[in-house]
Amino acid sequence: MAAKTTHYLNLISQIDMLYEDALALEKKFEGQVKKVHPRFKKSAKNLLHYLALRQHDIRELQESLSLIGLSSLGRAEGHVLASLSAVRGQLCQLAKCTPQHKELAVSFFENRKLLAKHTESLWGPLPEKRTTRIMVTFSSDLAKDYDLVVRMLKAGMNCARINCAHDNEKTWMAMIRNIRKAEKETGLACTILFDLMGPKLRTGELKAGPKVVAIHQIHNELGVPTSPATVWLTGSGEPAPIMADAVLPVEDSWVAQLQEGDKIKFTDTRGRKRTMAVIRKEKKGVVAHLLKTSYLVTGTELTVKNKTIADSTTQVGALPSIELPILLRKDDYLVLHRDPAPGEPARFDASGHILSPAFISCTLPAVFDQVKAGDPILFDDGAIEGIVEEVNPDKMLVKITFAKAKGSILRADKGINLPESNLHLRDLTEKDKADLRFVAKHADIVNLSFANHPVMVEALFAEIKKLKAKDLAVMLKIETKEGFKHLPHLLLSVMQTYPAGIMIARGDLAVECGWQRLAEVQEEILWLCEASHIPVVWATQVLETLAKKGRPSRAEITDAAMAQRADCVMLNKGPHIIEAISMLHDIMHRMQEHQHKKTSMLRSLHISELTTETAD
Protein backbone atom coordinates (compact mmCIF):
# COMPACT_ATOMS: atom_id res chain seq x y z
CA MET A 1 0.00 0.00 0.00
CA ALA A 2 2.88 2.33 0.85
CA ALA A 3 4.32 1.76 -2.64
CA LYS A 4 1.05 2.86 -4.23
CA THR A 5 0.90 5.96 -2.06
CA THR A 6 4.48 6.81 -3.02
CA HIS A 7 3.54 6.34 -6.69
CA TYR A 8 0.56 8.67 -6.33
CA LEU A 9 2.64 11.30 -4.55
CA ASN A 10 5.24 11.12 -7.33
CA LEU A 11 2.50 11.73 -9.91
CA ILE A 12 1.22 14.69 -7.86
CA SER A 13 4.75 16.11 -7.86
CA GLN A 14 4.89 15.87 -11.66
CA ILE A 15 1.48 17.56 -11.97
CA ASP A 16 2.62 20.35 -9.66
CA MET A 17 5.74 20.90 -11.76
CA LEU A 18 3.61 21.22 -14.93
CA TYR A 19 1.27 23.62 -13.13
CA GLU A 20 4.13 25.84 -11.89
CA ASP A 21 5.78 25.87 -15.33
CA ALA A 22 2.47 26.98 -16.87
CA LEU A 23 2.20 29.90 -14.46
CA ALA A 24 5.87 30.77 -15.01
CA LEU A 25 5.41 31.05 -18.79
CA GLU A 26 2.31 33.19 -18.22
CA LYS A 27 4.41 35.45 -16.00
CA LYS A 28 7.18 35.63 -18.60
CA PHE A 29 4.75 36.88 -21.25
CA GLU A 30 2.77 39.11 -18.89
CA GLY A 31 3.48 42.13 -21.08
CA GLN A 32 2.07 40.39 -24.15
CA VAL A 33 -1.02 39.25 -22.25
CA LYS A 34 -1.72 42.82 -21.16
CA LYS A 35 -1.88 43.87 -24.83
CA VAL A 36 -4.51 41.33 -25.91
CA HIS A 37 -8.16 42.29 -26.22
CA PRO A 38 -10.09 41.93 -22.93
CA ARG A 39 -12.27 39.18 -24.45
CA PHE A 40 -9.13 37.17 -25.24
CA LYS A 41 -7.40 37.59 -21.83
CA LYS A 42 -8.30 34.16 -20.46
CA SER A 43 -7.64 32.53 -23.81
CA ALA A 44 -4.16 34.10 -24.08
CA LYS A 45 -3.24 32.79 -20.64
CA ASN A 46 -4.51 29.33 -21.51
CA LEU A 47 -2.45 29.34 -24.72
CA LEU A 48 0.69 30.01 -22.69
CA HIS A 49 -0.25 27.25 -20.24
CA TYR A 50 -0.66 24.83 -23.12
CA LEU A 51 2.67 25.85 -24.65
CA ALA A 52 4.34 25.27 -21.29
CA LEU A 53 2.70 21.84 -21.03
CA ARG A 54 3.88 20.86 -24.51
CA GLN A 55 7.48 21.81 -23.72
CA HIS A 56 7.58 18.57 -21.74
CA ASP A 57 7.40 14.98 -22.95
CA ILE A 58 4.69 13.65 -20.65
CA ARG A 59 4.01 10.34 -22.35
CA GLU A 60 5.11 8.28 -19.35
CA LEU A 61 2.96 10.42 -17.04
CA GLN A 62 0.02 9.97 -19.40
CA GLU A 63 0.40 6.20 -19.37
CA SER A 64 0.63 6.15 -15.57
CA LEU A 65 -2.53 8.22 -15.22
CA SER A 66 -4.39 6.11 -17.76
CA LEU A 67 -3.50 2.85 -15.95
CA ILE A 68 -5.27 4.07 -12.80
CA GLY A 69 -8.34 5.31 -14.70
CA LEU A 70 -7.60 9.03 -14.65
CA SER A 71 -7.49 11.60 -17.44
CA SER A 72 -4.29 11.31 -19.45
CA LEU A 73 -4.37 15.07 -20.23
CA GLY A 74 -4.77 14.25 -23.93
CA ARG A 75 -7.67 16.68 -24.33
CA ALA A 76 -6.46 19.53 -22.13
CA GLU A 77 -6.02 22.11 -24.94
CA GLY A 78 -8.90 24.39 -24.03
CA HIS A 79 -8.56 24.22 -20.20
CA VAL A 80 -5.01 23.29 -19.20
CA LEU A 81 -4.99 24.33 -15.53
CA ALA A 82 -8.46 22.90 -14.96
CA SER A 83 -7.30 19.54 -16.33
CA LEU A 84 -4.16 19.53 -14.17
CA SER A 85 -6.15 20.53 -11.08
CA ALA A 86 -8.81 17.86 -11.64
CA VAL A 87 -6.19 15.11 -12.03
CA ARG A 88 -4.33 16.37 -8.97
CA GLY A 89 -7.54 16.29 -6.93
CA GLN A 90 -8.18 12.66 -7.87
CA LEU A 91 -4.59 11.68 -7.05
CA CYS A 92 -4.89 13.38 -3.67
CA GLN A 93 -7.94 11.26 -2.89
CA LEU A 94 -6.04 8.10 -3.83
CA ALA A 95 -3.00 9.18 -1.78
CA LYS A 96 -5.26 10.33 1.09
CA CYS A 97 -3.66 13.76 1.20
CA THR A 98 -5.31 17.17 1.39
CA PRO A 99 -6.12 18.60 -2.08
CA GLN A 100 -5.21 22.20 -2.83
CA HIS A 101 -7.49 24.62 -4.63
CA LYS A 102 -5.53 25.99 -7.57
CA GLU A 103 -6.09 29.14 -9.61
CA LEU A 104 -7.77 28.41 -12.95
CA ALA A 105 -7.51 30.60 -16.06
CA VAL A 106 -10.28 28.70 -17.86
CA SER A 107 -12.67 26.19 -16.32
CA PHE A 108 -13.99 23.10 -18.07
CA PHE A 109 -17.31 24.85 -18.66
CA GLU A 110 -15.77 28.08 -19.92
CA ASN A 111 -13.70 26.34 -22.60
CA ARG A 112 -16.49 25.58 -25.06
CA LYS A 113 -18.33 28.79 -24.22
CA LEU A 114 -15.30 30.91 -25.06
CA LEU A 115 -14.68 29.19 -28.40
CA ALA A 116 -18.37 29.34 -29.31
CA LYS A 117 -18.52 33.04 -28.41
CA HIS A 118 -15.36 33.93 -30.35
CA THR A 119 -16.55 31.91 -33.37
CA GLU A 120 -19.98 33.53 -33.41
CA SER A 121 -18.40 36.98 -33.13
CA LEU A 122 -16.30 36.20 -36.20
CA TRP A 123 -18.85 34.42 -38.43
CA GLY A 124 -22.25 35.14 -36.96
CA PRO A 125 -24.87 32.71 -35.61
CA LEU A 126 -24.55 28.96 -36.05
CA PRO A 127 -25.97 27.55 -39.29
CA GLU A 128 -28.92 25.23 -39.02
CA LYS A 129 -28.04 21.60 -38.13
CA ARG A 130 -24.30 22.26 -38.25
CA THR A 131 -21.60 23.55 -35.88
CA THR A 132 -18.94 24.08 -38.57
CA ARG A 133 -19.21 26.87 -41.14
CA ILE A 134 -18.64 26.46 -44.88
CA MET A 135 -16.57 29.04 -46.78
CA VAL A 136 -16.48 29.15 -50.59
CA THR A 137 -13.86 30.92 -52.71
CA PHE A 138 -15.47 33.16 -55.31
CA SER A 139 -14.33 33.16 -58.93
CA SER A 140 -14.81 35.96 -61.45
CA ASP A 141 -18.04 34.59 -62.94
CA LEU A 142 -19.87 35.02 -59.60
CA ALA A 143 -19.76 38.76 -60.20
CA LYS A 144 -22.43 38.13 -62.85
CA ASP A 145 -24.01 34.79 -61.94
CA TYR A 146 -26.44 35.91 -59.22
CA ASP A 147 -28.55 32.77 -59.43
CA LEU A 148 -25.56 30.59 -58.56
CA VAL A 149 -24.80 32.76 -55.51
CA VAL A 150 -28.37 32.19 -54.31
CA ARG A 151 -28.04 28.44 -54.85
CA MET A 152 -24.74 28.38 -52.95
CA LEU A 153 -26.32 30.12 -49.97
CA LYS A 154 -29.28 27.74 -49.98
CA ALA A 155 -26.93 24.75 -50.23
CA GLY A 156 -25.12 25.81 -47.05
CA MET A 157 -22.45 28.46 -47.76
CA ASN A 158 -21.89 30.69 -44.70
CA CYS A 159 -18.88 32.72 -45.80
CA ALA A 160 -17.73 34.04 -49.18
CA ARG A 161 -13.98 34.39 -49.74
CA ILE A 162 -12.79 36.95 -52.29
CA ASN A 163 -9.10 36.86 -53.22
CA CYS A 164 -7.44 40.23 -53.85
CA ALA A 165 -4.81 38.43 -55.93
CA HIS A 166 -7.42 38.16 -58.69
CA ASP A 167 -9.86 40.51 -60.46
CA ASN A 168 -10.34 44.16 -59.49
CA GLU A 169 -12.50 46.47 -57.38
CA LYS A 170 -15.27 46.63 -59.98
CA THR A 171 -15.57 42.83 -60.03
CA TRP A 172 -15.30 42.58 -56.24
CA MET A 173 -18.09 45.12 -55.84
CA ALA A 174 -20.32 43.14 -58.19
CA MET A 175 -19.67 40.01 -56.12
CA ILE A 176 -20.54 41.87 -52.91
CA ARG A 177 -23.79 43.19 -54.40
CA ASN A 178 -24.78 39.67 -55.42
CA ILE A 179 -24.00 38.32 -51.94
CA ARG A 180 -25.96 41.03 -50.10
CA LYS A 181 -28.87 40.73 -52.53
CA ALA A 182 -28.92 36.94 -52.08
CA GLU A 183 -28.90 37.37 -48.29
CA LYS A 184 -32.04 39.49 -48.49
CA GLU A 185 -33.75 37.09 -50.89
CA THR A 186 -32.99 33.94 -48.89
CA GLY A 187 -32.92 35.28 -45.34
CA LEU A 188 -29.56 33.51 -44.90
CA ALA A 189 -26.48 35.31 -43.57
CA CYS A 190 -23.16 35.27 -45.41
CA THR A 191 -19.94 36.72 -44.01
CA ILE A 192 -17.61 38.31 -46.58
CA LEU A 193 -13.89 37.63 -46.21
CA PHE A 194 -11.20 39.27 -48.34
CA ASP A 195 -7.74 37.74 -48.74
CA LEU A 196 -4.98 40.31 -49.06
CA MET A 197 -2.44 39.02 -51.55
CA GLY A 198 0.46 39.39 -49.10
CA PRO A 199 4.15 39.02 -50.03
CA LYS A 200 3.44 36.10 -52.32
CA LEU A 201 6.32 35.09 -54.54
CA ARG A 202 4.90 34.21 -57.97
CA THR A 203 6.05 33.78 -61.53
CA GLY A 204 5.72 36.88 -63.71
CA GLU A 205 4.06 37.33 -67.08
CA LEU A 206 4.71 35.14 -70.10
CA LYS A 207 4.98 36.21 -73.70
CA ALA A 208 1.57 36.43 -75.34
CA GLY A 209 0.77 33.89 -78.03
CA PRO A 210 -1.88 33.91 -80.75
CA LYS A 211 -5.49 34.91 -80.09
CA VAL A 212 -6.96 31.45 -80.47
CA VAL A 213 -9.43 29.22 -78.66
CA ALA A 214 -9.25 25.42 -78.79
CA ILE A 215 -12.58 23.62 -78.38
CA HIS A 216 -12.52 19.92 -77.57
CA GLN A 217 -15.41 17.50 -77.30
CA ILE A 218 -15.59 15.25 -74.22
CA HIS A 219 -13.60 12.00 -74.37
CA ASN A 220 -13.63 8.94 -72.13
CA GLU A 221 -10.57 7.25 -70.63
CA LEU A 222 -9.87 5.49 -73.94
CA GLY A 223 -9.87 8.74 -75.90
CA VAL A 224 -13.21 8.00 -77.55
CA PRO A 225 -15.55 11.05 -77.94
CA THR A 226 -18.58 10.62 -75.66
CA SER A 227 -20.36 13.98 -75.90
CA PRO A 228 -20.10 17.26 -77.86
CA ALA A 229 -18.42 20.41 -76.67
CA THR A 230 -20.76 23.16 -75.46
CA VAL A 231 -20.20 26.61 -76.96
CA TRP A 232 -21.77 29.88 -75.81
CA LEU A 233 -22.09 32.53 -78.55
CA THR A 234 -22.88 36.00 -77.27
CA GLY A 235 -22.52 39.57 -78.41
CA SER A 236 -22.85 41.26 -75.03
CA GLY A 237 -20.29 39.44 -72.89
CA GLU A 238 -23.14 37.86 -70.94
CA PRO A 239 -21.95 34.85 -68.86
CA ALA A 240 -23.04 31.46 -70.15
CA PRO A 241 -26.24 30.12 -68.56
CA ILE A 242 -24.54 26.71 -68.30
CA MET A 243 -20.97 25.47 -67.96
CA ALA A 244 -19.58 26.07 -71.44
CA ASP A 245 -16.39 24.64 -72.92
CA ALA A 246 -15.82 27.85 -74.88
CA VAL A 247 -17.24 31.35 -75.33
CA LEU A 248 -17.24 33.01 -78.75
CA PRO A 249 -17.87 36.78 -78.99
CA VAL A 250 -20.01 37.70 -82.02
CA GLU A 251 -22.16 40.65 -83.12
CA ASP A 252 -25.40 41.18 -81.17
CA SER A 253 -27.53 41.61 -84.28
CA TRP A 254 -26.21 38.40 -85.83
CA VAL A 255 -26.66 36.16 -82.80
CA ALA A 256 -30.16 37.59 -82.20
CA GLN A 257 -31.30 36.06 -85.52
CA LEU A 258 -30.35 32.51 -84.60
CA GLN A 259 -32.95 29.89 -83.70
CA GLU A 260 -32.80 26.39 -82.28
CA GLY A 261 -31.77 23.92 -84.94
CA ASP A 262 -29.70 26.38 -86.97
CA LYS A 263 -26.39 25.04 -88.29
CA ILE A 264 -23.33 27.31 -88.05
CA LYS A 265 -20.49 26.40 -90.39
CA PHE A 266 -16.85 27.53 -90.33
CA THR A 267 -13.35 26.48 -91.31
CA ASP A 268 -10.89 26.28 -88.41
CA THR A 269 -7.21 27.31 -88.37
CA ARG A 270 -6.13 23.91 -89.74
CA GLY A 271 -8.47 24.11 -92.73
CA ARG A 272 -10.93 21.64 -91.20
CA LYS A 273 -14.60 22.25 -92.05
CA ARG A 274 -16.75 22.24 -88.93
CA THR A 275 -20.43 22.65 -87.98
CA MET A 276 -22.08 23.80 -84.75
CA ALA A 277 -25.75 23.13 -84.02
CA VAL A 278 -27.79 25.65 -82.02
CA ILE A 279 -29.57 23.72 -79.25
CA ARG A 280 -30.88 26.57 -77.12
CA LYS A 281 -31.70 30.25 -77.57
CA GLU A 282 -31.26 32.69 -74.70
CA LYS A 283 -31.96 36.41 -74.40
CA LYS A 284 -28.29 37.39 -74.79
CA GLY A 285 -26.94 34.54 -76.91
CA VAL A 286 -27.25 30.92 -77.98
CA VAL A 287 -25.88 27.57 -76.78
CA ALA A 288 -24.45 25.35 -79.51
CA HIS A 289 -22.99 21.87 -79.70
CA LEU A 290 -19.75 21.11 -81.56
CA LEU A 291 -18.93 17.49 -82.35
CA LYS A 292 -15.28 17.80 -83.43
CA THR A 293 -12.16 19.47 -82.05
CA SER A 294 -11.77 22.95 -83.53
CA TYR A 295 -9.34 25.87 -83.32
CA LEU A 296 -10.74 29.36 -83.93
CA VAL A 297 -9.00 32.73 -84.02
CA THR A 298 -10.19 36.31 -83.97
CA GLY A 299 -11.80 36.91 -87.36
CA THR A 300 -12.84 33.30 -88.07
CA GLU A 301 -15.89 33.53 -90.38
CA LEU A 302 -19.14 31.94 -89.13
CA THR A 303 -21.98 31.25 -91.56
CA VAL A 304 -25.48 30.12 -90.68
CA LYS A 305 -27.40 28.06 -93.24
CA ASN A 306 -30.88 29.53 -92.91
CA LYS A 307 -32.59 31.31 -95.83
CA THR A 308 -34.80 33.34 -93.47
CA ILE A 309 -31.77 35.10 -91.98
CA ALA A 310 -30.82 38.31 -93.77
CA ASP A 311 -27.25 38.55 -92.55
CA SER A 312 -25.95 35.00 -92.62
CA THR A 313 -22.25 35.64 -92.01
CA THR A 314 -20.25 37.19 -89.18
CA GLN A 315 -16.78 36.97 -87.70
CA VAL A 316 -15.56 35.84 -84.29
CA GLY A 317 -14.75 38.93 -82.23
CA ALA A 318 -11.62 39.68 -80.26
CA LEU A 319 -10.36 36.62 -78.38
CA PRO A 320 -7.82 36.86 -75.55
CA SER A 321 -4.26 35.90 -76.38
CA ILE A 322 -3.11 32.57 -75.06
CA GLU A 323 0.12 32.60 -73.11
CA LEU A 324 3.09 30.56 -74.27
CA PRO A 325 3.78 28.31 -71.28
CA ILE A 326 7.20 26.94 -70.39
CA LEU A 327 7.73 23.18 -70.59
CA LEU A 328 10.28 21.96 -68.05
CA ARG A 329 11.82 18.51 -67.75
CA LYS A 330 14.18 17.05 -65.17
CA ASP A 331 17.72 18.44 -65.59
CA ASP A 332 16.48 21.44 -67.64
CA TYR A 333 17.60 24.93 -66.65
CA LEU A 334 15.33 27.88 -65.88
CA VAL A 335 16.46 31.47 -65.42
CA LEU A 336 14.58 33.66 -62.92
CA HIS A 337 15.28 37.33 -63.55
CA ARG A 338 14.51 40.70 -62.00
CA ASP A 339 13.49 42.24 -65.32
CA PRO A 340 9.65 42.19 -65.47
CA ALA A 341 9.73 41.55 -69.23
CA PRO A 342 7.49 38.61 -70.25
CA GLY A 343 9.12 35.20 -69.93
CA GLU A 344 9.64 32.79 -72.80
CA PRO A 345 10.20 29.05 -73.32
CA ALA A 346 13.67 27.74 -74.14
CA ARG A 347 14.91 28.24 -77.72
CA PHE A 348 16.50 25.42 -79.72
CA ASP A 349 18.41 25.16 -83.00
CA ALA A 350 17.44 22.89 -85.91
CA SER A 351 19.32 19.99 -84.32
CA GLY A 352 17.47 20.32 -81.04
CA HIS A 353 20.39 21.86 -79.15
CA ILE A 354 19.46 24.55 -76.68
CA LEU A 355 20.30 28.10 -77.72
CA SER A 356 18.97 29.79 -74.57
CA PRO A 357 17.19 28.38 -71.50
CA ALA A 358 13.63 29.27 -70.57
CA PHE A 359 13.31 32.41 -68.46
CA ILE A 360 10.65 34.11 -66.38
CA SER A 361 10.50 36.94 -63.85
CA CYS A 362 9.23 36.79 -60.26
CA THR A 363 6.93 39.20 -58.46
CA LEU A 364 9.26 40.04 -55.54
CA PRO A 365 12.75 40.90 -56.84
CA ALA A 366 13.92 41.49 -53.23
CA VAL A 367 14.43 37.73 -52.85
CA PHE A 368 17.46 37.90 -55.17
CA ASP A 369 19.37 39.42 -52.24
CA GLN A 370 18.26 36.69 -49.82
CA VAL A 371 18.64 33.44 -51.79
CA LYS A 372 21.91 31.53 -52.01
CA ALA A 373 23.23 28.77 -54.26
CA GLY A 374 22.13 25.33 -53.09
CA ASP A 375 18.71 26.49 -51.84
CA PRO A 376 15.76 24.32 -52.98
CA ILE A 377 13.05 26.05 -55.00
CA LEU A 378 9.56 24.83 -55.89
CA PHE A 379 7.02 26.06 -58.42
CA ASP A 380 3.23 25.69 -58.74
CA ASP A 381 2.52 24.16 -55.32
CA GLY A 382 5.45 21.78 -55.62
CA ALA A 383 4.57 20.37 -59.05
CA ILE A 384 8.06 21.39 -60.23
CA GLU A 385 11.15 21.26 -58.02
CA GLY A 386 14.64 22.63 -58.52
CA ILE A 387 17.92 23.72 -56.95
CA VAL A 388 19.32 27.22 -57.21
CA GLU A 389 22.77 26.80 -58.81
CA GLU A 390 23.82 30.42 -59.31
CA VAL A 391 22.66 33.79 -57.95
CA ASN A 392 23.64 37.27 -59.02
CA PRO A 393 21.93 40.67 -58.58
CA ASP A 394 19.91 40.33 -61.79
CA LYS A 395 19.06 36.65 -62.10
CA MET A 396 19.33 33.19 -60.64
CA LEU A 397 19.91 29.93 -62.46
CA VAL A 398 17.72 27.00 -61.42
CA LYS A 399 18.31 23.36 -62.31
CA ILE A 400 15.08 21.35 -62.42
CA THR A 401 15.29 18.26 -60.19
CA PHE A 402 11.70 17.05 -60.47
CA ALA A 403 9.02 17.29 -63.17
CA LYS A 404 6.60 14.89 -64.83
CA ALA A 405 8.10 12.21 -67.06
CA LYS A 406 6.91 14.05 -70.18
CA GLY A 407 7.63 17.47 -68.70
CA SER A 408 5.65 19.89 -66.53
CA ILE A 409 4.06 23.14 -67.65
CA LEU A 410 4.96 26.37 -65.84
CA ARG A 411 2.59 29.29 -66.37
CA ALA A 412 2.37 32.89 -65.22
CA ASP A 413 1.15 33.75 -61.70
CA LYS A 414 2.18 30.40 -60.22
CA GLY A 415 3.56 30.20 -56.71
CA ILE A 416 7.29 30.05 -56.00
CA ASN A 417 8.43 28.56 -52.68
CA LEU A 418 11.91 28.82 -51.19
CA PRO A 419 11.44 26.75 -48.02
CA GLU A 420 15.09 26.77 -46.90
CA SER A 421 15.87 30.39 -47.80
CA ASN A 422 15.93 32.94 -45.00
CA LEU A 423 13.49 35.41 -46.53
CA HIS A 424 12.49 38.49 -44.58
CA LEU A 425 9.20 39.39 -46.24
CA ARG A 426 7.51 41.12 -43.33
CA ASP A 427 6.08 44.34 -44.74
CA LEU A 428 2.64 44.96 -46.15
CA THR A 429 3.00 45.40 -49.89
CA GLU A 430 1.80 48.54 -51.60
CA LYS A 431 -0.91 46.44 -53.27
CA ASP A 432 -2.07 45.21 -49.86
CA LYS A 433 -2.34 48.77 -48.58
CA ALA A 434 -4.25 49.88 -51.67
CA ASP A 435 -6.62 46.89 -51.54
CA LEU A 436 -7.17 47.36 -47.82
CA ARG A 437 -8.81 50.74 -48.46
CA PHE A 438 -11.54 48.92 -50.41
CA VAL A 439 -11.67 45.93 -48.06
CA ALA A 440 -12.09 48.12 -44.97
CA LYS A 441 -15.30 49.57 -46.44
CA HIS A 442 -16.95 46.39 -47.63
CA ALA A 443 -15.60 43.27 -45.87
CA ASP A 444 -16.46 41.63 -42.57
CA ILE A 445 -13.06 39.90 -42.27
CA VAL A 446 -9.63 40.63 -43.75
CA ASN A 447 -7.28 37.67 -44.16
CA LEU A 448 -3.55 38.45 -44.07
CA SER A 449 -1.87 36.05 -46.49
CA PHE A 450 1.64 34.73 -45.79
CA ALA A 451 1.53 35.96 -42.19
CA ASN A 452 4.97 34.99 -40.93
CA HIS A 453 5.97 37.46 -38.19
CA PRO A 454 4.21 39.66 -35.58
CA VAL A 455 5.67 42.71 -37.35
CA MET A 456 3.29 42.03 -40.27
CA VAL A 457 0.32 41.85 -37.92
CA GLU A 458 1.29 45.14 -36.28
CA ALA A 459 1.60 46.73 -39.73
CA LEU A 460 -1.89 45.51 -40.65
CA PHE A 461 -3.32 46.90 -37.40
CA ALA A 462 -1.69 50.26 -38.11
CA GLU A 463 -3.28 50.45 -41.57
CA ILE A 464 -6.69 49.42 -40.21
CA LYS A 465 -6.40 52.12 -37.54
CA LYS A 466 -5.62 54.72 -40.21
CA LEU A 467 -8.74 53.67 -42.10
CA LYS A 468 -10.83 53.76 -38.87
CA ALA A 469 -12.20 50.29 -39.68
CA LYS A 470 -13.07 49.36 -36.10
CA ASP A 471 -15.48 46.56 -37.07
CA LEU A 472 -13.12 44.75 -39.44
CA ALA A 473 -12.18 41.32 -38.06
CA VAL A 474 -8.68 39.96 -38.75
CA MET A 475 -7.62 36.49 -39.79
CA LEU A 476 -4.08 35.22 -40.34
CA LYS A 477 -3.30 32.78 -43.11
CA ILE A 478 -0.60 30.33 -42.04
CA GLU A 479 1.13 29.01 -45.15
CA THR A 480 4.88 29.27 -44.68
CA LYS A 481 7.47 27.47 -42.58
CA GLU A 482 8.29 30.78 -40.89
CA GLY A 483 4.63 31.45 -40.13
CA PHE A 484 4.28 28.01 -38.54
CA LYS A 485 7.46 28.54 -36.53
CA HIS A 486 6.17 31.87 -35.18
CA LEU A 487 2.57 30.73 -34.68
CA PRO A 488 2.46 31.26 -30.85
CA HIS A 489 3.69 34.84 -31.29
CA LEU A 490 1.28 35.40 -34.20
CA LEU A 491 -1.61 34.17 -32.07
CA LEU A 492 -0.74 36.53 -29.21
CA SER A 493 -0.41 39.36 -31.73
CA VAL A 494 -3.72 38.79 -33.52
CA MET A 495 -5.49 38.46 -30.15
CA GLN A 496 -4.91 42.18 -29.69
CA THR A 497 -7.99 42.67 -31.86
CA TYR A 498 -11.44 41.11 -31.63
CA PRO A 499 -12.75 38.98 -33.25
CA ALA A 500 -9.89 37.09 -34.89
CA GLY A 501 -9.20 33.79 -36.62
CA ILE A 502 -6.58 31.57 -38.25
CA MET A 503 -6.61 29.85 -41.66
CA ILE A 504 -4.55 26.70 -42.30
CA ALA A 505 -3.50 27.08 -45.95
CA ARG A 506 -2.50 23.47 -46.44
CA GLY A 507 -1.31 23.82 -50.05
CA ASP A 508 1.65 26.12 -49.42
CA LEU A 509 2.26 24.56 -46.00
CA ALA A 510 2.77 21.16 -47.60
CA VAL A 511 5.28 22.62 -50.04
CA GLU A 512 7.10 24.63 -47.37
CA CYS A 513 7.21 22.03 -44.61
CA GLY A 514 7.29 18.89 -46.75
CA TRP A 515 4.36 16.67 -47.78
CA GLN A 516 5.24 14.08 -45.15
CA ARG A 517 4.91 16.66 -42.37
CA LEU A 518 1.60 18.22 -43.42
CA ALA A 519 -0.61 16.01 -41.22
CA GLU A 520 1.60 16.73 -38.20
CA VAL A 521 1.75 20.47 -38.89
CA GLN A 522 -2.00 20.92 -39.38
CA GLU A 523 -2.63 18.99 -36.13
CA GLU A 524 -0.32 21.30 -34.19
CA ILE A 525 -2.05 24.38 -35.60
CA LEU A 526 -5.44 22.96 -34.61
CA TRP A 527 -4.19 22.29 -31.06
CA LEU A 528 -2.75 25.79 -30.59
CA CYS A 529 -5.90 27.41 -31.95
CA GLU A 530 -8.07 25.32 -29.64
CA ALA A 531 -5.85 26.36 -26.71
CA SER A 532 -6.37 29.99 -27.78
CA HIS A 533 -10.13 29.52 -28.30
CA ILE A 534 -9.55 31.05 -31.73
CA PRO A 535 -11.70 29.80 -34.63
CA VAL A 536 -9.70 28.08 -37.35
CA VAL A 537 -10.35 27.48 -41.06
CA TRP A 538 -9.36 24.18 -42.72
CA ALA A 539 -8.47 25.19 -46.28
CA THR A 540 -7.12 23.88 -49.61
CA GLN A 541 -8.42 21.08 -51.83
CA VAL A 542 -11.36 20.00 -49.68
CA LEU A 543 -13.62 17.89 -51.97
CA GLU A 544 -11.64 19.35 -54.88
CA THR A 545 -12.34 16.49 -57.28
CA LEU A 546 -16.05 16.63 -56.51
CA ALA A 547 -16.23 20.41 -57.10
CA LYS A 548 -14.32 20.17 -60.38
CA LYS A 549 -15.32 16.80 -61.82
CA GLY A 550 -18.56 15.85 -60.07
CA ARG A 551 -17.33 12.83 -58.10
CA PRO A 552 -15.12 12.81 -54.97
CA SER A 553 -12.23 10.49 -54.24
CA ARG A 554 -12.33 8.25 -51.19
CA ALA A 555 -9.43 10.16 -49.64
CA GLU A 556 -11.35 13.43 -50.02
CA ILE A 557 -14.31 12.06 -48.06
CA THR A 558 -12.02 11.12 -45.17
CA ASP A 559 -10.30 14.50 -45.36
CA ALA A 560 -13.66 16.31 -45.23
CA ALA A 561 -14.67 14.24 -42.20
CA MET A 562 -11.43 15.16 -40.43
CA ALA A 563 -12.01 18.83 -41.30
CA GLN A 564 -15.02 18.86 -39.00
CA ARG A 565 -12.60 19.46 -36.10
CA ALA A 566 -12.01 22.94 -37.47
CA ASP A 567 -14.56 25.73 -37.04
CA CYS A 568 -14.88 26.50 -40.75
CA VAL A 569 -14.00 24.53 -43.89
CA MET A 570 -13.12 26.19 -47.19
CA LEU A 571 -14.12 24.95 -50.63
CA ASN A 572 -12.74 26.16 -53.94
CA LYS A 573 -15.35 26.80 -56.62
CA GLY A 574 -15.83 24.45 -59.56
CA PRO A 575 -18.60 23.40 -61.98
CA HIS A 576 -20.08 21.15 -59.28
CA ILE A 577 -19.80 23.51 -56.32
CA ILE A 578 -23.42 23.02 -55.26
CA GLU A 579 -22.88 19.27 -54.94
CA ALA A 580 -19.66 19.92 -53.01
CA ILE A 581 -21.37 22.27 -50.53
CA SER A 582 -24.25 19.84 -50.05
CA MET A 583 -21.95 16.86 -49.48
CA LEU A 584 -19.73 18.80 -47.08
CA HIS A 585 -22.82 19.89 -45.13
CA ASP A 586 -23.96 16.28 -44.88
CA ILE A 587 -20.53 14.96 -43.83
CA MET A 588 -20.06 17.58 -41.13
CA HIS A 589 -23.62 17.15 -39.85
CA ARG A 590 -22.94 13.44 -39.41
CA MET A 591 -19.44 13.81 -37.96
CA GLN A 592 -20.42 16.32 -35.29
CA GLU A 593 -22.39 13.49 -33.68
CA HIS A 594 -19.13 11.54 -33.34
CA GLN A 595 -16.42 14.15 -32.76
CA HIS A 596 -15.87 17.52 -31.07
CA LYS A 597 -12.33 18.72 -31.69
CA LYS A 598 -10.20 15.82 -30.35
CA THR A 599 -12.96 14.36 -28.20
CA SER A 600 -14.87 11.33 -29.45
CA MET A 601 -18.61 11.60 -28.77
CA LEU A 602 -19.86 8.11 -27.93
CA ARG A 603 -23.44 8.18 -29.14
CA SER A 604 -25.15 4.87 -29.86
CA LEU A 605 -23.79 3.33 -33.04
CA HIS A 606 -26.14 2.83 -35.96
CA ILE A 607 -24.98 -0.66 -36.86
CA SER A 608 -26.68 -4.02 -37.29
CA GLU A 609 -28.47 -5.05 -34.12
CA LEU A 610 -27.14 -7.93 -32.09
CA THR A 611 -29.57 -10.81 -31.91
CA THR A 612 -29.57 -14.25 -30.36
CA GLU A 613 -29.40 -15.72 -33.84
CA THR A 614 -26.11 -16.61 -35.48
CA ALA A 615 -25.18 -14.35 -38.34
CA ASP A 616 -25.50 -15.94 -41.76
SS (H, E, C) 2-38: HHHHHHHHHHHHHHHHHHHHHHHHHHHCHHHHHHCCH
Indicate if the pLDDT at residue 182 is higher than 90. Answer: yes
Indicate if the pLDDT at residue 433 is higher than 70. Answer: yes
- For 493-524, the pLDDT digits (tens) are 999 999 999 999 998 899 888 888 999 999 99
**The pLDDT value given to residue 597:** 79
Q: Can you give the pTM of this predicted structure?
A: 0.84
Q: Sorting pLDDT into bands at 50, 70 and 90, what band is 606?
A: low
Q: Sorting pLDDT into bands at 50, 70 and 90, what band is 309?
A: confident
**The pLDDT value given to residue 608:** 54
Distance of CA 574 to the CA centre of its chain: 14
Indicate if the pLDDT at residue 385 is higher than 60. Answer: yes
Indicate if the pLDDT at residue 101 is higher than 80. Answer: no
Q: What CA–CA distance (Å, rounded) separates 316 from 333? A: 39
Q: What CA–CA distance (Å, rounded) separates 59 from 357? A: 54
- For 410-430, the pLDDT digits (tens) are 999 999 999 888 888 888 999
**The pLDDT value given to residue 423:** 81
Give the type of residue at 176. Answer: I
Residue 464's closest CA among 487, 439, 427, 489?
439
Residue 332's closest CA among 349, 351, 347, 350?
347
Q: Give the number of other CB atoms < 10 A from CB of residue 432.
A: 22
Distance between start and end Cα atoms, the chain:
51
- For 40-61, the pLDDT digits (tens) are 999 999 999 999 999 999 999 9
In the chain, the percentage of residues whose pLDDT exceeds 70 is 97
- Span 252-272, average pLDDT: 92
Give the chain's radius of gyration (CA, Å).
29
**The pLDDT value given to residue 264:** 94
Indicate if the pLDDT at residue 69 is higher than 70. Answer: yes
Dihedral sign computed on CA atoms, order 260, 261, 266, 272: positive
